[in-house]
Amino acid sequence: MLNQSNQLDLMFQALADPARRMMVNRLCHGPASVSELAGPLTMSLPSVMQHLQVLELSGLVQSQKVGRVRTCTIDREVLSLAEQWISDRRALWGRRLDALGDYLADNPEEPDTIQTETSQGGEQ
């Protein structure tokens, strides 16, 4: 079992490629065979299989071979993990803006002091 941090590593890594994002995009319309995934991509089938392997390792995509046809599906819950991580961070940012607004309302005369750094050491 992957822990959540490892899964986020693999998932964001999997999404960091335009061909893999195209494959995820296609699979969000429904299951597809490998040749259907390869259709719009200008690359060899072995390259498509390599990208598919990265997607499968991340948990974003599962595939099953029946006869000679490998059918791929997206795991929506795994995709949600990535979305959730980002939206949680954006929520933190929103709360920080609220706090900053409160601070500025309470301290209208000294807005320049908010980010003051006092250390005189090396690169901080």
Site residues (CB under 8 A) for a copy of itself? 5, 8-13, 15-18, 21, 24-25, 28-31, 33-36, 45, 49, 66-71, 74, 76, 79-80, 82-83, 85-87, 89-90, 92-93, 96, 100, 115, 117, 119-124
67: left (phi over 0), alpha (psi -120 to 50) or beta: left
Q: Which is nearer to a copy of itself, 109 or 123 (CB)?
A: 123
Number of H helices, E strands in the chain: 5, 3
Q: Which is nearer to a copy of itself, 45 or 109 (CB)?
A: 45
The dihedrals phi and psi of 117, each to the nearest 5 degrees, come to: -105, 135
Name the β-bridge partners of 73: 62
Query: Any residues with CB less than 8 A from the CB of 114 and at least 6 apart, and which?
Result: 100, 103
Structure tokens, 80: 């949600």
Please report how close the Cβ of residue 90 comes to a copy of itself at its closest, in angstroms.
6
Please report how close the Cβ of residue 25 comes to a copy of itself at its closest, in angstroms.
6
Please report how close the Cβ of residue 61 comes to a copy of itself at its closest, in angstroms.
12
Please report how close the Cβ of residue 40 comes to a copy of itself at its closest, in angstroms.
14
CB-CB contact of 20 with 61 (8 Å): no
